[in-house]
Amino acid sequence: MILTEAPAVTAALEAAVRAPSPHNTQPWLFEVGPDVIGVVLDEDRVLTVCDPDRREARLSCGAALLNLELALAVAGRSCDVELLPSKNRPELLARAGIGARHRATATERRLAASIRARYSNRRPFASTPVPAGARHAVRQAAREEGAKLILLDEIGLLEAVAGLIRRADHLQTLDEGFQTELRAWTKGNGSHDGVPAYAGGPRPSGGLLPVRHHGESDQVREFERDPVVAVLTTPTDGPLAQVRAGRAMQRALLTATSLGLSASFYSQPMEIPAARTVLRSLLGENEHPQVIFRVGYGFPGTTTPRRGVEEVTRTGP
């Protein structure tokens, strides 16, 4: 592998694999050539039941791309990104050219420092309110990537969307195909992918919304009754919008992490087409919902494992 800045590239790839993904499937590959890194959707890691159109996988790859850019920035290199660079290779989602010397901004350093600290916190959050300044910062982070972050309690839609999430969660509970797929990605300790039981959180009892349960634990805990729930939307949909949405999602999550906040996803209605259509009608037809997550002050947890850089890297064309 011929690289002009091998240490910077290695650091960037180590950051990229820390992106979130559904069931921690890590659906990415990186093609590395002289001064360029291609971000490729790994078809073998797409969830065929809950993500048949590959939307969530593209979001994850977009998040990995943002991590890669931030890590390159703090390593002192600029990055020239081209999204969906090849019509003949739809799985090639982006190409990041490694450019000239770059002095990282304070924001780039702050977000890059949050990459390893960020994780999906599936445990109950504290009842401490999320202040207005933090809400604004997370919204602004999504806006910088061309997306909108809607906080449901601020527009009177929390109860309606909560009902939609509960119904979607119930449907997935009854779907044996979904449950089989979920069990396949619920891993024991020592695996480098999937969600280990220790990161799955307790079974929800009470609270407004059901957090997806991984693992076989029978522990039951009551979750917060007044969660801060955000929906990230884009003005259009399709592969390009989904990659951009993944970047916006990750910038918002890293911003939240840098402010001491935790987050975890409510993916249930996003994985059922009819539920996603209802959600769009609630938000307005001009909005295409891409991600739903909760934000709050979480009790300490732990990150989920990742595959090593050597497992996800190949020499580029």
Q: Choose among 221, 216, 212, 219: nearest CA to 170.
A: 212
62-76 pLDDT per residue, tens = 999 999 999 999 999
Residue 222, token pair as written in the block: 């009551």
Confidence of residue 55 (pLDDT cuts 50, 70, 90): very high
Confidence of residue 2 (pLDDT cuts 50, 70, 90): very low
Q: Choose among 98, 29, 35: nearest CA to 69.
A: 98
Asked if residue 81 lies in contact with residue 24, where contact means CB atoms within 8 angstroms, the answer is no
Mind giving me the DSSP string for 217-237? ---EEPPPSS-EEEEEEESS-
Which residue's entry shows tokens 């780039």?
A: 108
Q: Choose among 22, 59, 134, 103: nearest CA to 290.
A: 59
Confidence of residue 284 (pLDDT cuts 50, 70, 90): very high
Does 29 score more than 50 pLDDT?
yes
Kindly list the distances between the CA atom of residue 200 and the CA atoms of 63, 170, 172, 186, 275, in Å, as whole numbers in the listed order.
Answer: 21, 18, 17, 8, 24
Provide the whole-model pTM. Answer: 0.94
* Arithmetic mean of pLDDT over the chain: 92
Confidence of residue 187 (pLDDT cuts 50, 70, 90): confident
147-174 pLDDT per residue, tens = 999 999 999 999 999 999 999 999 999 9
Pairing type for strands 195-196 and 186-187 reads parallel
User: CA torsion 316→40→67→6, rounded to 10°?
Assistant: -10
Contact partners, residue 174, CB within 8 Å, separation at least 6: none
Confidence of residue 302 (pLDDT cuts 50, 70, 90): confident
| Residue 207, pLDDT score | 63
Neighbours of 260 (CB within 10 A): 10
Kindly list the distances between the CA atom of residue 131 and the CA atoms of 123, 249, 256, 266, in Å, as whole numbers in the listed order.
Answer: 21, 20, 12, 22
Confidence of residue 78 (pLDDT cuts 50, 70, 90): very high
Considering only the C-alpha atoms of the chain, give the largest distance between any 2 of them, rounded to a whole number of Å. Answer: 55
